[in-house]
């Protein structure tokens, strides 16, 4: 089939969209095109990436990008359209009016996510979340297929047309040949992802200040700041002196950064959209053999404690975070065993190969096979 993926928000190299779904479909004989925000068109791994000029302002983006995507989508004359952002639901509905098969790929619980967006005025959050909820319910019955990133996200959609394709890592994609722990004199821990208040970054920097005297642990912080005000706030904190900061990196460089570290951190705040999320970074740490220190949410507890790959803490308590970090630094053998347990769980249960098979089967049904 001629398949066109659409995103108005994500990078054209997005892990779920490009590295996993587009490449898996292309590998299985389909012709794949991706419409995404970038300057100009490119061809990567035989996948045609059709770019449009991105708008920097967040609110202007939500108004302008969907119509840019719509214009480029119609030109592709694809057999199936597969879109990834709730703001593209109107585009999906217009494509259905042209009798085009449409799949909505739901990455997160959108209404819950909007209700916790700090950049939205408080009085707007509830109406905006309700509007998205309404559009998703309509789309659930109108669109030809729904792909959900977790079982929780799939719950509101019609079971007869919904497939759960989880965001588990590709085995071997983040492996590296260098030896871990080959940097004597300094212990490194790592956080990768969005750098915002709700991601627990403030408490993490505060925890660095509470580490025992004589502890030389450094935090490798990888990602982009939510805004310049938040960036200045973090860099003014005393604990920032222990931070080795990197802006977002390509996958191979991320791999090397992880392999220099002893511990992976994912300390998201208890927001509505975090409780039932399967965070990519948790599984990526596990795939690299890193033990994890994670937020104590029920779903995460079943994964982390279930496979013995780490420990859990209250992500809003810097003292508990500091104690958790200290435990891993002071127990290298146990930490290494936890890392190996996580890697084993990835190889046996939490890997993209299983999810890829579900994606391909879903498309075969779409094609009437």
Q: Provide the pLDDT for residue 79.
A: 95
Q: Count H helices and E strands in the chain, helices first.
A: 14, 14
Q: Provide the pLDDT for residue 183.
A: 44
Task: Give the burial class of 335: count Cβ atoms within 10 A of its Cβ; 0-12 exposed, 13-18 middle, 19 or more buried.
Answer: buried
Assigned CATH for 188-348: 3.40.50.2000
pTM of the model: 0.85
CB-CB contact of 152 with 297 (8 Å): no
pLDDT in tens, the chain (369 residues): 999 999 999 999 999 999 999 999 999 999 999 999 999 999 999 999 999 999 877 778 888 999 999 999 999 999 999 999 999 999 999 999 999 999 999 998 766 666 666 666 667 777 777 888 788 888 889 999 999 999 989 999 999 999 999 999 998 877 654 445 444 445 899 999 889 898 999 999 999 999 998 888 999 999 999 889 999 999 999 999 999 999 988 888 888 889 889 999 999 998 777 777 788 899 999 999 999 999 999 889 999 999 999 999 999 999 999 999 999 999 999 999 999 999 999 999 999 999 999 999 999 987 764
Q: From the CA atom positions of the chain, what is the Rg in Å?
A: 21
Helix (H, G, I), strand (E, B) or coil at 92: helix
User: Would you list the DSSP string of 187-238?
Assistant: -EEEEES-BSGGGTHHHHHHHHHTSPTT---EEEEES-BS-HHHHHHHHTSG
C-alpha angle with apex 21: 166 to 249, nearest 5 degrees?
90
Sign of the alpha-carbon dihedral angle for 183, 189, 194, 197 = negative
pLDDT digits (tens, 9 = 90+) for 69-88: 999 999 999 999 999 999 99
> Domain residues of the chain, as ranges?
2-168+351-366, 188-348
| Nearest Cα residue to 290 out of 266, 316, 317, 315 | 266
Give the domain 2-168+351-366 fold. Answer: Rossmann fold (3.40.50)
Q: Round to whole Å and give the CA distance between 76 and 78.
A: 5
CB-based burial, 289-306: b 16+ in 10 Å, e otherwise: bbbbbbbbbeebeebbee
Q: 2-168+351-366 and 188-348: same fold? A: yes
């Amino acid at each position: 089939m001629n398949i066109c993926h659409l995103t108005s928000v994500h990078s054209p190299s997005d892990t779920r969209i490009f590295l996993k779904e587009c490449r898996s479909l292309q590998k299985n004989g389909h012709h794949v095109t991706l419409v995404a925000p970038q300057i100009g068109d490119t061809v990567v791994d035989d996948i045609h990436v059709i770019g449009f000029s991105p708008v920097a302002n967040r609110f202007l983006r939500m108004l302008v990008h969907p119509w840019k995507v719509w214009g480029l989508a119609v030109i592709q004359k694809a057999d199936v359209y597969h879109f990834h952002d709730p703001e593209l639901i109107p585009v999906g509905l217009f494509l259905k009016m042209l009798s085009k098969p449409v799949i909505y790929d739901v990455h997160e619980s959108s209404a819950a996510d909007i209700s916790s967006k700090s950049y939205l005025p408080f009085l707007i959050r509830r109406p905006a979340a309700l509007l998205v909820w309404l559009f998703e319910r309509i789309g659930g019955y109108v669109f030809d297929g729904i792909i959900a990133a977790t079982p929780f996200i799939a719950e509101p959609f019609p079971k007869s047309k919904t497939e759960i394709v989880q965001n588990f890592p590709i085995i071997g994609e983040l492996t590296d040949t260098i030896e871990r722990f080959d940097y004597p004199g300094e212990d490194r821990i790592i956080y990768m992802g969005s750098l915002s208040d709700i991601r627990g970054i403030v408490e993490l920097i505060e925890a660095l200040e509470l580490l025992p005297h004589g502890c030389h642990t450094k935090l490798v912080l990888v990602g982009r700041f939510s805004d310049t005000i938040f960036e200045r706030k973090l860099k003014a904190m005393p604990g920032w002196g222990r931070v080795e900061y990197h802006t977002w990196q390509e996958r191979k460089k991320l791999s090397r950064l992880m392999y220099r570290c002893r511990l992976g951190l994912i300390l998201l705040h208890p927001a509505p959209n975090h409780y039932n999320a399967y965070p990519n970074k948790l599984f990526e740490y596990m795939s690299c053999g890193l033990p994890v220190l994670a937020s104590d949410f029920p779903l995460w507890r079943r994964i982390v404690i279930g496979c013995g790959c780490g420990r859990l803490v209250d992500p809003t308590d810097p003292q508990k975070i500091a104690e958790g970090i200290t435990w891993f630094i002071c127990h290298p053998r146990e930490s290494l065993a936890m890392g190996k347990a996580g890697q084993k769980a990835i190889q046996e249960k939490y890997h993209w190969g299983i999810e890829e098979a579900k994606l391909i089967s879903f498309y075969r049904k779409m094609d009437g096979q």
